[in-house]
Structure formats: C-alpha cells, structure tokens
C-alpha cells in the first residue's frame, strides 16, 4: 500500500510541471490575444482620430481661405483643446490671425456700435499674436510684431475710447511695435508697409513714409497687400508731393502688369486728373511724376472704362495739351488749347474755364 502511494505521488510530481507549463502557455496566449486586440483597437482609434484631425484642419484652412478668419481661429482652438502643443494648428492659427489683421473689419447692424464689436475680436487677435511672438525668432518674429502694431493701429482707428479702455495708448503702441519689428528685420515687408501707411495717415513725414513703402515694394513680397496700403495712404492725401508719388506707384504697377481694381482706378483719376477739382499746379505735379509718354500711357490705363465717352474725350485732349505744355512744347500745346476752345463754345463751366486759363497761360509764355 505504501509503495503504491509513493508511486502515485511520484507520478503526480512528474506530471505537475507539464500541467503548469500548459497553463502558462494558455495564459500567455490569452495575454497575447488580448494585447493584439488592444493594439488593433488602439490602431483603429488612432486612425479615426487622425482622420478627424485632418478633417478639422482642412475645415479651418478652408474657412481662412474664404476670409472667415474668426471661424477659422475657433476651429484651430477646438483642435488645440485636445492637444495644446499641436504645432501645425498653432502655426496656422497664428497665420490666420495675421491675415485677419491685414483685412480687419466688423459688420455692425443698425443700432450696433462697430467699435465695441471690434474690441473682443482685437483682444482675441492680440492674444494669439503675443503667444506666437514668444515662440518665434528673426524675420518671423518681425512679421508677428508688425502685425501686433497693426492691430493697435486698428484699435486706434476704429475708436479711440477702445484704445484707452483696452490697449492704453494705441497710437504709441502701434508705432513702437512697427519700429521694433524693423529693428529686428530692417527689410521686413509688413513693418515697412504698415509704418509707411501709418505715417501717411498720422501726419508724419511724407519722405520717410514713401521710403518705407518703397522698401516694402522692393521686397517683392505680399505685393497686393503692400499696394493696398500704399494707394490707400496716398489717395486724397492733401499734401504736396502725394499726387506725384501716387502716379509713380500707378505707373510702376502698369509697367509690371499688376492688377488694379475699378474702385482704385476711379479714385486715382478723380484725385489726380479731374479738371473740375484739380488746378494746374496739381495737374503739373501729377503729370510730371514720370516721363510724358509713360504718364500718358498710365492715364489711359487708369481710364480704360469712361462713363461718358464725349466728355472723357475732351478731358483726354486737355490732359494731352497739359503734357505738351509741361514738356516745353508750347506751340503744340497752344494749338490743342485753341481746338478745345472751339469744341466748347457753348459749354460754360469749370472745364471751359480750365481750357481758357490754359490757353491764356501758354499765350503769355
């Protein structure tokens, strides 16, 4: 009996490692399957999250492209809630904020205060720009600081009480940031263009303003934006030399094949070439901005869609005569003025008065 028990115990002892080995193997397989299942689940969830992220980024980019800047910034903010350090969203949100500053506007309904509506938007822009500035260096930092200065400019321009309540001395902050950007990058296109426009509208030096604008143009960067600031600052600027600089810019745009919308064409013509509102001194400034042949080509380029062909033809002839006079061809100018007098025998008014004054002027020379 004892021997049988010993044999049984011995058999059990020999079998136990085998059993435990099987149990361990099964347990390992279960763990492996669980790991595989977990990995598959993670992979599926990761793919899903990546697809959602790509879709959200695409939406934000489309919104920014369509000029829906505030909506785009919010879309990027939604992405950053999940991953606050996601660099592509941070960078695109920053770029969108700069685009918004360049094209800043608010739409106020009747009874709404546009300035008060602008304050929260400018706060939002400032926060994004300030954050972007802390992680940027060199020319990118200059870009951002210039846009910070431009945001202050908008605050000042929209309503000075906003500047006092929200931004302190916005006028001073605008110029400080723009000049600070130039200290970092003297050739920065945004800082030069924005500072030039700021100086034109704040009564600064025309010479210095034109210097900054010319530097911005010479970079070849952000050309439509630079031209918008340049033309917008010079049109209707009641300062000696402004018309000449405006015609130089228009002439340069014509020669380089840059587009110019109908509104700017009409405003430049009215400011520089309208005989009803400009005297000969102002005409002289406009017509002397470039060589006579280039000035004439630029005038025709600007006046490609006359509203009244007959009256425009008369104006064309008067300007052509003025160009002849200014270029020293007085006899030819005198003949043109006399022809114009014959064409306007029964049309008293400012245009006829301009022709009579010009004819008298060349007759005395």
Asked if residue 250 belongs to a domain, the reply is: no
Calpha distance 31→276 (Å, rounded): 92
Asked if residue 240 belongs to a domain, the reply is: no
The predicted structure's pLDDT at residue 158:
76
Asked if residue 247 belongs to a domain, the reply is: no
Does the global pTM surpass 0.75?
Answer: yes
Calpha distance 292→199 (Å, rounded): 30
262 and 364 in one domain?
A: yes
285 and 356 in one domain?
A: yes
202 and 157 in one domain?
A: yes
What is the total count of domains within the chain? 3
Q: DSSP for 5-27? A: HHHHHHHHHHHHHHHHHHHHHHH
The predicted structure's pLDDT at residue 31:
61
276 and 223 in one domain?
A: no
CA distances from 57 to 45, 135, 315 (A): 18, 21, 54
360 and 307 in one domain?
A: yes
Tell me the torsion sign for CA atoms 183, 184, 185, 189: negative
195 and 175 Cβ atoms separated by less than 8 Å: yes
Asked if residue 241 belongs to a domain, the reply is: no
Asked if residue 167 belongs to a domain, the reply is: yes
Structural Rg of the chain based on CA atoms: 36
364 and 270 in one domain?
A: yes
- Look at phi and psi of residue 359 and say left if phi exceeds 0, alpha if psi is from -120 to 50, else beta: alpha
Residue 215: closest CA among 234, 195, 199: 195
Asked if residue 5 belongs to a domain, the reply is: no
261 and 307 in one domain?
A: yes
Count H helices and E strands in the chain, helices first.
17, 0
Calpha distance 107→188 (Å, rounded): 31
- Which residues in the chain come in under a pLDDT of 70? 1-46, 49, 108, 114, 159-168, 276-278, 305-312, 346-348, 365
230 and 173 in one domain?
A: yes
267 and 229 in one domain?
A: no
Asked if residue 1 belongs to a domain, the reply is: no
Calpha distance 212→196 (Å, rounded): 5
The 3-class SS string of 190-217 reads HHHHHHHHHHHHCCCCHHHHHHHHHHHH
Calpha distance 148→188 (Å, rounded): 14
Asked if residue 18 belongs to a domain, the reply is: no
Among residues 97, 115, 143, the one where a domain terminates is 97
Calpha distance 205→203 (Å, rounded): 7
229 and 140 in one domain?
A: yes
Beta-strand (E) ranges in 234-288? none
CA dihedral of 35, 37, 40, 44, whole degrees rounded to 10 = -130
Domain that holds residue 47: 40-97
């Amino acid at each position: 009996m004892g021997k049988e028990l010993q044999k049984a115990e011995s058999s059990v002892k020999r079998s136990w490692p085998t059993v435990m080995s099987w149990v361990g193997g099964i347990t390992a397989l279960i763990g492996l399957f669980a790991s595989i299942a977990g990995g598959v689940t993670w992979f599926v969830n990761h793919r899903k999250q990546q697809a959602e992220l790509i879709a959200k980024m695409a939406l934000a980019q489309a919104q920014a492209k369509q000029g829906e800047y505030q909506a785009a910034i919010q879309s990027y903010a939604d992405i950053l809630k999940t991953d606050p350090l996601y660099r592509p969203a941070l960078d695109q949100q920053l770029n969108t904020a700069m685009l918004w500053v360049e094209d800043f506007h608010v739409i106020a309904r009747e009874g709404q205060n546009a300035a008060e509506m602008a304050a929260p938007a400018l706060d939002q822009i400032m926060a994004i720009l300030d954050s972007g500035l802390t992680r940027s260096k060199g020319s990118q930092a200059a870009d951002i600081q210039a846009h910070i200065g431009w945001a202050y400019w908008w605050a000042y321009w929209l309503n000075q009480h906003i500047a006092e309540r929200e931004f302190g001395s916005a006028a001073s902050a605008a110029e400080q940031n723009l000049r600070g950007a130039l200290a970092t990058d003297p050739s920065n296109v945004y800082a030069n263009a924005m500072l030039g426009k700021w100086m034109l509208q704040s009564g600064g030096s025309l010479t210095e303003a034109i210097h900054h604008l010319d530097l911005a143009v010479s970079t070849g960067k952000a050309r439509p934006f630079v031209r918008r600031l340049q033309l917008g600052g010079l049109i209707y600027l009641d300062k000696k030399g402004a018309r000449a600089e405006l015609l130089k810019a228009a002439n340069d745009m014509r020669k380089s094949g840059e587009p110019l919308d109908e509104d700017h064409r009409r405003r430049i013509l009215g400011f520089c070439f309208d005989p009803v509102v400009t005297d000969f001194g102002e005409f002289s400034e406009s017509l002397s901005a470039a060589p006579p042949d280039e000035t004439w080509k630029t005038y025709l380029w600007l006046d490609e869609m006359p509203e009244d062909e007959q009256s425009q033809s008369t104006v064309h002839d008067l300007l052509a005569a003025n160009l002849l006079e200014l270029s020293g061809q007085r006899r030819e100018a005198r003949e043109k003025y006399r022809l114009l007098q014959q064409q306007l025998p029964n049309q008293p008014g400012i245009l006829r008065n301009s022709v009579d004054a010009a004819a008298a002027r060349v007759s005395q020379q």
